[in-house]
């Protein structure tokens, strides 16, 4: 499952990762860079043009089928993921497999692990740099009767978790580890079951990394830059190192204030923002 991601790539990083010039990026002005992307956000994807060449297009995350009735409210949470094992069987996805495959470009994604009574969010990414890109296999569609005209949307394919991530969740996105894998996913018209299974194999590379992040980002409305920042908790004992006079009073006041904020944040954020896809 992949229900939250990070997309803060600059336009230059996006075009470099796609191997496409800026003038071949449709609706680039609709891109919404965010540290806390949820279904309904607009992010860059790579697709094939009618001429068979790769091009960029900004699309909304959360598939809205082309046959959705005019005037119907789009539900971006219903199909933001698609199980790779069944996309060739379910009609809503099967019809997209031949000519509507895409590559979703992101910085990384989030997943939650149950730790005690709470769920701790983790940020998963590839490489070590801020500009490193993670490519995911996706399918897209166009709803011609959207509220503001044609609306392009996409879903991210998922697969079983790799051995390195099984402790965190039993599902993970289908990761395309390099440009060659991305090109293979986009190329051609038909994919047989064997090819699809090979592409959807769980990625287990050593360059896949993760760390704990602030529980505050569990709230979909939270957009702070610390969403993806590694969470490093200080020892409680460090707050009580001997200090003198006014400094001591200030330190004790800080402890009380921090404790109050932490309790409030825990109540507000700990259970927020976990939507379940219908795949």
- The angle at the Cα of 112, spanning 216 to 239, to the nearest 5 degrees, equals 50
Q: What is the pLDDT of residue 50?
A: 84
The 10s digit of each residue's pLDDT in 94-117 is 999 999 999 999 999 999 999 999
Average the pLDDT over 31-40 and give the result: 96
Mean pLDDT of 137-143: 98
- Give the pLDDT mean for 19-33: 95
- The tokens for 214 are 């602030």
Q: Rounded to whole angstroms, how far apart are CA atoms 120 and 228?
A: 13
Pick the catalytic residue from 55, 102, 111, 227.
111
Alpha-carbon dihedral sign for residues 35, 36, 38, 40: negative
Q: How confident is the model at residue 251 (pLDDT cuts 50, 70, 90)?
A: very low
- Find the mean pLDDT for residues 179-186: 92
Q: What are the structural domain ranges in the chain? A: 5-215
Measured at the CA of 189, the angle between CA 180 and CA 97, to 5 degrees, comes to: 90
Using alpha carbons, select from 92, 97, 119, 149 the residue that is nearest to residue 3: 119
Report the share of the chain in percent with pLDDT over 70.
Answer: 83
Instruction: Assess whether pLDDT exceeds 60 at residue 88.
Output: yes
Active-site position among 2, 55, 102, 227? 2
Q: Is 111 tagged catalytic?
A: yes
Give how far Cα 88 sits from Cα of 99, 105, 156, 189, Å: 13, 23, 14, 13
In this prediction, residue 162 carries a pLDDT of 96
Alpha carbon of 86 to those of 75, 82, 110, 193, 279: distances in Å? 21, 8, 23, 10, 8
Three-class DSSP category at 48: strand
The CA distance from 81 to 39, in Å, is 10
Measured CA to CA, the distance from residue 214 to residue 261 in angstroms comes to: 13
Known catalytic residue: 102?
A: no
Q: What number is the average pLDDT over the span 270-275?
A: 39
Q: Report the CATH fold assignment for 5-215.
A: hypothetical protein yedk fold (3.90.1680)
Smallest CA-to-CA distance from 63 within 18, 101, 107 is with 101
Backbone region of residue 173 per phi and psi (left: phi > 0; alpha: psi in -120 to 50; beta: other values): beta
Contact 104, 135 (CB under 8 A): yes
Give the predicted TM-score (pTM) of the model.
0.82
């Amino acid at each position: 499952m992949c229900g939250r991601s990070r997309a803060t790539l600059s336009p230059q990083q996006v075009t470099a990762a796609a191997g496409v010039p800026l003038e071949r990026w449709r609706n680039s002005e609709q891109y919404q860079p965010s540290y806390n992307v949820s279904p309904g956000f607009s992010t860059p994807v790579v697709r094939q043009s009618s001429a068979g060449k790769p091009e960029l297009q900004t699309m909304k995350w959360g598939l809205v089928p082309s046959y959705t009735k005019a005037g119907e409210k789009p539900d971006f949470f219903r199909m933001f993921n698609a199980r790779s094992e069944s996309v060739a069987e379910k009609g809503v996805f099967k019809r997209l497999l031949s000519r509507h495959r895409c590559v979703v470009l992101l910085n990384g994604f989030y997943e939650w692990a149950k730790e005690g009574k709470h769920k701790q969010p983790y940020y998963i990414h590839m490489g070590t740099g801020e500009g490193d890109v993670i490519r995911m296999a996706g399918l897209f569609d166009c709803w011609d009767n959207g509220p503001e005209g044609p609306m392009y949307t996409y879903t991210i394919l998922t697969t079983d978790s790799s051995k390195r991530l099984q402790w965190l969740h039993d599902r993970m996105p289908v990761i395309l580890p390099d440009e060659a894998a991305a090109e293979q996913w986009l190329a051609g018209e038909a994919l047989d079951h064997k090819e699809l299974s090979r592409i959807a194999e769980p990625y287990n590379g050593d360059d896949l990394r993760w760390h704990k992040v602030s529980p505050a980002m569990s709230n979909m409305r939270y957009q702070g830059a610390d969403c993806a920042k590694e969470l490093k908790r200080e020892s409680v004992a460090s707050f009580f190192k001997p200090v003198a006079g006014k400094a001591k009073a200030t330190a004790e006041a800080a402890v009380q204030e921090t404790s109050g904020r932490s309790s409030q944040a825990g109540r507000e954020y700990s259970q927020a923002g976990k939507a379940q896809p219908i795949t």
